[in-house]
Amino acid sequence: MPHPLHGPRLKIGRANEEIQRLRKAEETFRGKAKHEIVRAEKNPRTGQYVYRFRIIDFPALDEWGVWVGEIVHNLRSALDILIYELARLNGAPANVRDTQFPIFRYRFSREVEGRSVMGFEGPQGSRRPAGGSGRKMIARLRADHQARIERLQPYRRNGIRTNLGQPLNGRWNVLYRLSELNNADKHRLLQVVGAKPGAGPMVGGWGEDTENDFRFLKAKILKNGTRIVEASANMHVSQDILLLIAFAEGCEAVRHNAVCYVLTLIANETGKIIESFDPDFR
């Protein structure tokens, strides 16, 4: 028989393959995209010129929303299958249906008294996990596994940071971003992506009045006519922008974040969670 984690591993492997495909598509986009920074109107209030982004040719990015949805689905599914296998390890039947990997930014567990709890009845005064609570989703797991899952929740990940210094708790938590992306893709709309500027100074100054005057672009989605910067006539505005494909609209949790970076973070974290339970199945 295959290892209980064979399914989640296949899902994560597939997601990583698709992320690599996105990286190649991003490189292709950069190679084909043509743009320029043009000096436009003069601001009468400041006396400086407004420089704007002008699109000459941008390849279509329509399919990215579908690709992102497929990647997110596989990663979310891998976590749900993990919970199913942990329930089976604890004696749940093969047709068990009420399991799911909980992802909660705020409160994890709710309990109710008495009778009406997801169709189950109990004596007055008894307490059961409420439907929709994190505890209900993992009720068929061993107590130690439940505790480990709860420690992974976004509101519990205080003090842990990514390699770029972003905290992993709350709305920055990669599991929270996975949940929000998955829900947006399932229930609302395909993710809309666009190009944004990568790191690097865009404006440089020369001369006594502008010495060491370097400015960085904000991480905004670039459209035809996007205002880049205001600068005086003796400033140099670079035409060299590293374009990154980023989330535009559709999911506030990842808005304006680079697509490949976010998906890689989520895939890496999901893989670590899956593999952390490998010793339990030996």
pLDDT in tens, 135-184: 889 999 999 999 999 999 888 755 445 554 544 556 778 999 999 999 99
Q: Strands 34-42, 243-249: parallel, antiparallel or unpaired by DSSP?
A: unpaired
Measure the CA–CA gap between 273 and 93, rounded to whole angstroms: 24
Burial class (CB in 10 A: 0-12, 13-18, 19+), 194: buried
Measure the CA–CA gap between 194 and 243, rounded to whole angstroms: 9
Query: For the residues 38-42, what does the mean pLDDT come to?
Result: 91
Total structural domains in the chain?
A: 1
Task: Locate 90 and state its tokens.
Answer: 């604890």
Query: Per the domain annotation, does 214 fall within a domain?
Result: yes
pLDDT tens-digit series, residues 263-282? 999 999 999 999 999 999 99
Q: What is the pLDDT of residue 4?
A: 96
Asked whether the beta carbons of 271 and 5 are under 8 A apart, the reply is: no
Is residue 25 very low, low, confident or very high in pLDDT (cuts 50, 70, 90)?
A: very high
Query: Per the domain annotation, does 206 fall within a domain?
Result: yes
Is it the case that residue 49 has pLDDT exceeding 80?
yes
Say which DSSP state 254 is in.
G
Query: Per the domain annotation, does 1 fall within a domain?
Result: no
Q: Strands 201-205, 215-216: parallel, antiparallel or unpaired by DSSP?
A: antiparallel
The residue ranking higher by pLDDT, 210 or 154, is: 154
What residues pair up with 52 in beta bridges, in sequence order? 38, 227
Residues 6+ apart with CB under 8 A from 76: 101, 178, 179, 182
Q: What is the pLDDT of residue 123?
A: 40
Say which DSSP state 7 is in.
H
- Burial profile 157-177: b = 16 or more Cβ within 10 angstroms, e = fewer: beeeeeeeeeebbeebbbbbb
pLDDT tens-digit series, residues 73-128? 999 999 999 999 999 999 999 999 899 999 988 777 654 444 433 333 334 444 44
Task: Locate 246 and state its tokens.
Answer: 């980023």
Residues spanned by the domain of 13: 6-116+123-281
Q: What is the pLDDT of residue 120?
A: 33
Query: Per the domain annotation, does 230 fall within a domain?
Result: yes
pLDDT tens-digit series, residues 241-250? 889 999 998 8
Asked whether the beta carbons of 152 and 175 are under 8 A apart, the reply is: yes
Query: Per the domain annotation, does 85 fall within a domain?
Result: yes
| Identity of the amino acid at 221 | I
